[in-house]
Structure 1
Amino acid sequence: MGLKFGILDQSIVFPGQTSAEALANTVKLAQLAETLGYDRFWVSEHHDSPQMAGASPEVLIAHLLARTETIRIGSGGIMLQHYSPYKVAENFNVLASLAPGRVELGIGRAPGGLPRSTKALQRGTQETETLEEKLSELELLLHGSLEESHPLAGLQANPLPEQPASIFLLGTSVSSAKLAAERGYPYAFALFINNDPEAAKAAFDTYRESFDRSKGTEPIAILALSVIVSDTEAEAEETAGIFKSVRVTLASGKTVNVGSLQQAEAFAKQAGESYTVEERDADITRGTKETVRKRLLELRDAYGVDELIFTTIVPDFAKRERSFRLLKEAFEELPVE
């Protein structure tokens, strides 16, 4: 069986663009992905960031479903720590009722923004549930009612769809892989966020070794990574060379990846801690379609993954489209055995 391919788009507002233009490009990419035969198209959740227009994936997913016909549309991901599982279930039950079999609910464990936005999202709430408890509640509400032992027994997140949204767990660590395995979820490791090969290998090994098949599901391992494909090696190198990876380490030991040194400073200031920062070239698989195909197959074999999800951060929209076309061509010309 061949590899499955998806696209994760972050609705980035590049210099000289408006947020409306960035969102319009997300729509165009979803339609292109469907035309080219990609399996899924996911959108991300980012808060308090002028550089990213995708603050509400549920709203964007609804629009994308209406502008496409067959491709699966999902979140990469919903930051469940901020929200009531009941409301998330209502949102995705409506979406799944509108587009049966096409809705995917990726759950992220990161805050999706700086400390200020986390405070704003959780303002006025008394957060007592763990993520595991929220996931259990969400599962029940996607499929039916809360159990009799729950304080809100019998509660339903209407409408109940015939084909509920599929849950995926997203992460960058062994702990997220273990949680996905325990719950029988597909698991996506974001190599474009944590580009540590050893961490990725440990996460996927843990996922497969710990997977609970009693849930009636089989493990699905997904690698999410940055890719730029161009007509020449030189063009790919030039396009990828402008991007940096910035990791902030707070005095408390917490680490977070951000997009710039300015964001690193803002994160530390809002957290109220001293910090150190490491900047390096972004880990982007780049080159011609032959070069990229070879590298992607190496990564598939190294991590034992079943599917790949690509994010391509290129300001020139025509080059971004071209990258996704070349990527698909690479595997159509030489099918994966």
Structure 2
Amino acid sequence: MPYRLSLLDKSHIAPGTSGPDALAATVAAARLADELGYHRFWVAEHHGSAQLASAAPEILVSHILARTSRIRVGSGGVLLQHYASYKIAEQFSVLAALAPGRVDLGIGKSPGGLPHATRALQSDLLPDAAQDLARKLNDLEAWLNGPHREADIQPRPAILPERFLLGGSTASAEQAARLGWGFVHAGHQDGDRTSTLAALNAYEAIAGHRPILALTAFAAPTRAEAEDRVGELRFVRPVFADGHSVNLPSEDAAHEYARQYGSDDYRIEIRVPTVLAGTAEDIHEALAGLQADLGVSEFIIDQPVADRQARLASIDLIARQARRVAA
């Protein structure tokens, strides 16, 4: 098969369940993915959400590493604007020392929550520290590669975590390539082929190879069931006069974000992501088409369905079809 399959899990809290239930479902998904031969399993970071329990990826990564044996495990991704680069370097060095060759460090550039949660996370940061992401990324790479003149990190693992920047623009693609990092293009948040190609090409022009593409996919025994489970996905993006913008799940969430942000000067943009919903055969046919069209050799699949059993069934169906295709 000409492409690898990986998974992104957001710890969805299904109706009638709890945050701990969502984390247990994530761990079950990771263990199943490990058994079925997926390449990576990544966990996201979100804050203050009643729908997502993924607040601390570094802790969840450690837990999953201890309960799997082969699959690479990582963050998709740590939201660096909230933290000191030194501390993230320490955390992932510990993880890489505990599970050599299996740890991925993915960094996200968004806040990952509504403004009230962001202010709480950043309440003790120096002024403007959160916005200086370019410096933070360079510092993180320097700490990981050390030793550093001011201080070192311990333990220093034999195999560093593989580093990735997550983003949806050519600027992010170029930034990742210049750092010498991998790049994951957020096709699961924007299905525009022109912008996707621009980002993929920008990364390859510097790095010499194609990056990973994230997309939304869900498989069920029938196409009708899959489409019914997924529904009509879209992102609502408030864009403020100061240039700030963020992807949100609904217009109500966008208006609440604006209220917390303290601005009524914004416009709403609607983004429709790349969504693959159907049988496992449908999914692989679409992936093969995207691979041929875009030249991508690895897909990270974001499953939008909160129900635990449906998600596990989708993971199983996609993997079993992959084996049939490979054979």
Normalised-by-shorter TM-score class: over 0.9
Find the aligned partners of 1:12 and 1:270 in 2 and give their Cα distance.
24
Find the aligned partners of 1:230 and 1:296 in 2 and give their Cα distance.
16
Q: Is the 8 A contact 1:14 1:315 kept in 2?
A: yes
- The one-letter code matched in structure 1 to 2:293 is A
Q: CA RMSD in A?
A: 1.9
Q: Determine which of 163, 168, 192 is the counterpart of 2:164.
A: 168
Offset of residue 242 of structure 1:
5.2
**1:136 alignment counterpart:** 138
Q: Which runs of 4+ in 1 moved over 6 A?
A: none
Find the aligned partners of 1:189 and 1:244 in 2 and give their Cα distance.
17
**Cα displacement string for residues 60-105 of structure 1 (whole angstroms, at most 9, x for unaligned residues):** 1111111111211100001112211110011111111111111110
**2:324 alignment counterpart:** 333
Find the aligned partners of 2:105 and 2:157 in 1 and give their Cα distance.
14
Structure 1: which 5+ residue stretches go unaligned? Answer: 147-152, 212-217
Comparing 295-304 with 49-58, which one deviates more in the overlay? Answer: 295-304
**2:21 alignment counterpart:** 21
**2:154 alignment counterpart:** 158
Offset of residue 306 of structure 1:
1.8
**2:259 alignment counterpart:** 269
Structure 2: which 5+ residue stretches go unaligned? Answer: none
Change (3 A) 1:173 1:281: closer
**2:2 alignment counterpart:** 2
* Correspondence 1:71 to 2:68: no
* Correspondence 1:124 to 2:124: yes
Higher relative contact order (CA 8 A, sep 6+): 2
**1:189 alignment counterpart:** 185
**Cα displacement string for residues 252-311 of structure 1 (whole angstroms, at most 9, x for unaligned residues):** 443321122332122111111223335576642111122221111111222221210001
Find the aligned partners of 1:183 and 1:4 in 2 and give their Cα distance.
23
Identity among equivalent positions (%) equals 42
**1:240 alignment counterpart:** 230
Offset of residue 144 of structure 1:
2.4
**1:51 alignment counterpart:** 51
Change (3 A) 1:2 1:161: same
Offset of residue 243 of structure 1:
3.9
Offset of residue 183 of structure 1:
1.6
Comparing 23-32 with 46-55, which one deviates more in the overlay? Answer: 46-55
Change (3 A) 1:161 1:113: same
Q: Is the 8 A contact 1:186 1:220 kept in 2?
A: no
How many residues of Structure 1 are paired with residues of Structure 2 in the alignment?
A: 324
* Correspondence 1:311 to 2:302: yes
Find the aligned partners of 2:191 and 2:272 in 1 and give their Cα distance.
11
Q: Is the 8 A contact 2:187 2:273 kept in 1?
A: no
Q: Is the 8 A contact 1:143 1:160 kept in 2?
A: no
- The one-letter code matched in structure 2 to 1:81 is Q
TM-score (norm 1): 0.90
Find the aligned partners of 1:280 and 1:180 in 2 and give their Cα distance.
24
- The one-letter code matched in structure 2 to 1:199 is S
SS of equivalent residue, structure 2 residue 26: helix
Find the aligned partners of 2:210 and 2:137 in 1 and give their Cα distance.
18
**Cα displacement string for residues 187-210 of structure 1 (whole angstroms, at most 9, x for unaligned residues):** 101111122221111100111112
Q: Is the 8 A contact 1:231 1:288 kept in 2?
A: yes
Comparing 23-32 with 326-335, which one deviates more in the overlay? Answer: 326-335
Offset of residue 314 of structure 1:
1.4
Find the aligned partners of 2:122 and 2:80 in 1 and give their Cα distance.
11
Offset of residue 173 of structure 1:
0.8
**Cα displacement string for residues 120-146 of structure 1 (whole angstroms, at most 9, x for unaligned residues):** 222122245832322222122223222
**Cα displacement string for residues 6-35 of structure 1 (whole angstroms, at most 9, x for unaligned residues):** 100000112111000000000000000001
**1:215 alignment counterpart:** none
Find the aligned partners of 2:294 and 2:8 in 1 and give their Cα distance.
20
**1:302 alignment counterpart:** 293
**Cα displacement string for residues 193-241 of structure 1 (whole angstroms, at most 9, x for unaligned residues):** 1222211111001111122xxxxxx535101011011111111121122
Q: Is the 8 A contact 2:210 2:295 kept in 1?
A: no
Find the aligned partners of 1:131 and 1:244 in 2 and give their Cα distance.
27
Find the aligned partners of 2:226 and 2:64 in 1 and give their Cα distance.
29
